[in-house]
A = this chain, B = another copy of it.
Amino acid sequence: MSEEYTKRLWLEEDLADDLKWSMMVKNVMFSGKSKFQEVDLIHTGPFGKTLFLDGKVQSSEVDEWVYHELLVHPAMVMHPNPKSVFICGGGEGATAREVLRHKSVEKLVMVDIDKVVCDFCHEHLEVNKSAFESPRLELINDDARAQLEAYPGKFDVIIGDLADPLEGGPCYQLYTQDFYQNVVLKKLNPGGIFITQSGPAGILSCTEVFTAINCTLRSVFPRVLPYTQHMPVYCDVWGWNMALTDPKQAEISPEEMDRRLAARVEGEMRFLDGATFEGLRALNKHLRGCLAGETCIYTADTARFIHGSVAAGNKAGTGANGSS
């Protein structure tokens, strides 16, 4: 009987103007509300416990480990010895959780604008609870750009775990050339690395924001390393762009990556290792062509809008509020 019933409550998401999907809802576990957004933890059939902000999927227990391993560890292991890390957004706590697995990390600053989301995730997401309670974590609820600019000292790794750069959206300014040039680059130590989630990167969706973020970073950093991976809960391939101040760091062999992961990180990776990353950074011909052909650089004036895209606007972290 329960089966019958639970099949009938559905959460519907628009993947595009002309494509929508519905996931079965087993249980609405918790709901909260901040002055910025609604927060819901819903047990869905296909994706297990799933976090929603304003009704949009942020992450699910069946695949969040893929996203967060890929956001955090490639940059961390390419850096020779990351001691200080800054997260823009990330209120869910999983990005912090992965960073804190690195024994080298002495200080982690995480700035997410929405205290309610952070408190909600701290309370309800069991797997991230210890990260929120780590003495190495400094959690600030404020505008990410302002805090990064004002924070004393510099960082070895800066992580962008923010919502996609929608025109008029709260995070657009955190993807601009100006932000990268005048804030991120200046707050990185020598040899520092910046990594940012970069939106959908499938063959039909990669030019929405992924290629423009890449192009913008290339206008500021000497080396940008894009990579992609399918994320079931976003119904698309997802993209990341890593920007290095020292280009040589990108030339790490799979074996060296495996050695560093083993030496520096507590516990096992589930998704990532040297061979995996070798595959993910080897982009397909179509995607390489789209990156090569991209000319858009995000500035305060120029925007590339996500519109009507597969999985547009979904994700990431609580980045939607990483900045006011």
Residues of A within 8 A of B (CB): 1-2, 4-13, 15-25, 28, 33, 36-38, 40, 44-46, 52, 54-55, 62-63, 66, 202-204, 229-230, 232, 235-237, 269-273, 275-276, 278-286, 288, 310
19 new A-B contacts at CB < 8 Å, known A62-B204, A203-B271: A1-B36, A2-B33, A5-B52, A7-B17, A7-B55, A9-B25, A17-B24, A18-B44, A20-B22, A21-B22, A63-B203, A203-B230, A204-B232, A271-B284, A275-B283, A275-B285, A275-B288, A279-B279, A279-B281
Q: How far is the CA of A40 from the CA of B27 in the complex (A)?
A: 12
Q: Could you tell me if B1 and A37 are in contact, using CB atoms closer than 8 angstroms? A: yes
- On whether A271 and B283 interact (CB within 8 A), knowing A5-B55, A21-B15, A45-B19, the answer reads no
Q: How far is the CA of A275 from the CA of B285 in the complex (A)?
A: 8
Q: How far is the CA of A141 from the CA of B25 in the complex (A)?
A: 31
Q: How far is the CA of A44 from the CA of B310 in the complex (A)?
A: 14
Contacts of A1 in B (CB 8 A): 36-38, 54
Pull 29 A–B residue pairs with CB atoms less than 8 Å apart, ordered by A. A2-B33, A5-B40, A5-B54, A5-B55, A7-B17, A7-B18, A8-B12, A8-B13, A9-B28, A10-B11, A15-B46, A17-B24, A17-B45, A18-B44, A19-B21, A19-B23, A20-B22, A21-B21, A21-B22, A203-B271, A230-B237, A271-B286, A272-B284, A275-B283, A275-B285, A275-B288, A276-B282, A279-B283, A279-B284
Q: How far is the CA of A25 from the CA of B5 in the complex (A)?
A: 14
- On whether A63 and B204 interact (CB within 8 A), knowing A5-B54, A17-B7, A22-B21, the answer reads yes
Q: How far is the CA of A25 from the CA of B25 in the complex (A)?
A: 12
Contacts of A270 in B (CB 8 A): 285-286
Contacts of A275 in B (CB 8 A): 282-283, 285, 288
Whole-angstrom distance between the Cβ of A208 and the nearest chain B Cβ: 13
Contacts of A62 in B (CB 8 A): 204
Contacts of A272 in B (CB 8 A): 284-285
Contacts of A17 in B (CB 8 A): 7, 24, 45
**Partner pick for A202 among B15, B232, B271, CB 8 A cutoff:** B232
Q: Could you tell me if B46 and A310 are in contact, using CB atoms closer than 8 angstroms? A: yes
Contacts of A18 in B (CB 8 A): 7, 23-24, 44-46
Whole-angstrom distance between the Cβ of A144 and the nearest chain B Cβ: 20
- On whether A46 and B16 interact (CB within 8 A), knowing A8-B55, A237-B230, the answer reads yes
